[in-house]
Amino acid sequence: KAGVTQTPRYLIKTRGQQVTLSCSPISGHRSVSWYQQTPGQGLQFLFEYFSETQRNKGNFPGRFSGRQFSNSRSEMNVSTLELGDSALYLCASSPQRAGEETQYFGPGTRLLVL
Amino acid sequence: GESVGLHLPTLSVQEGDNSIINCAYSNSASDYFIWYKQESGKGPQFIIDIRSNMDKRQGQRVTVLLNKTVKHLSLQIAATQPGDSAVYFCAENPGSNYKLTFGKGTLLTVNP
């Protein structure tokens, strides 16, 4: 099976702009999670979607939002970008069935905010 | 809890040696644990997982040990190779909330 794919891989934006990142999960996986990775804070959970519903959300401001489509593909949006939003944004997919909770990560989108 | 104030622990080993990477987890309610490997410029790659009803699990060249009494995980890599050089993260899933909490990571460097 193809792995998790994320687009774009690299992005440069300026403060105040907004950005949309895309994630396509592994075929058959209905759960998609998003994480932010920075050198200072490590890997931090943003949110998780399953069957188009957000089931859990991390401690990030409302500028960070996401959604999931009926084909399980997901997008996350960051509005009014700040310099501190520069990070690697990782998407992970999982079957999320009993006994199958492992999350498999994509390569990430590296966002630089200037 | 969440990772804060990262100073990445490092482990340097010689090729062919065994490596042991340690991780302390925070939530006694966690029932599922995963080790990931992250190479530079890539996303985390699944290595091995273990459930809280086990204390040891073996894979190919890797073994994970779980000590619930002291909330400690370890990853043992046998016959470490240069290709094993990466940052290794442990992650815990505190029971059906669909969220992984990651440790700060350990940088493993394998010297030829």
Mind listing the pLDDT tens digit for each residue in B64-82? Answer: 999 999 999 999 999 999 9
- Tell which residue, A71, A113, A110, has the closest CA to residue A91: A110
| Cα-based distances in Å from B18 to A58, A59, B49, B77, B108 | 36, 38, 19, 6, 12
CA distance B65 to B55: 6
Mean pLDDT of all residues belonging to chain A: 94
Give the count of Cβ contacts less than 8 A between chain A and B.
66
pLDDT for A35: 97
Q: Do B105 and A42 touch (CB under 8 A)?
A: yes
Query: CB-based contact (8 Å) between B33 and chain A?
Result: no
Stretches where chain A sits below pLDDT 70 are 98
Strand partners, B21: B75
pLDDT for A95: 87
Strand partners, A109: A89
- In chain B, where do the E strands start and end? 10-14, 19-24, 32-38, 45-51, 56-58, 62-67, 72-77, 86-93, 101-102, 106-111
pLDDT for A9: 97
Residue of A35, A43, A91 to mutate for B, most B C-beta atoms under 10 A: A43
Among B5, B42, B99, the residue with its CB nearest the CB of A107 is B42
Amino acid making up residue B72: H
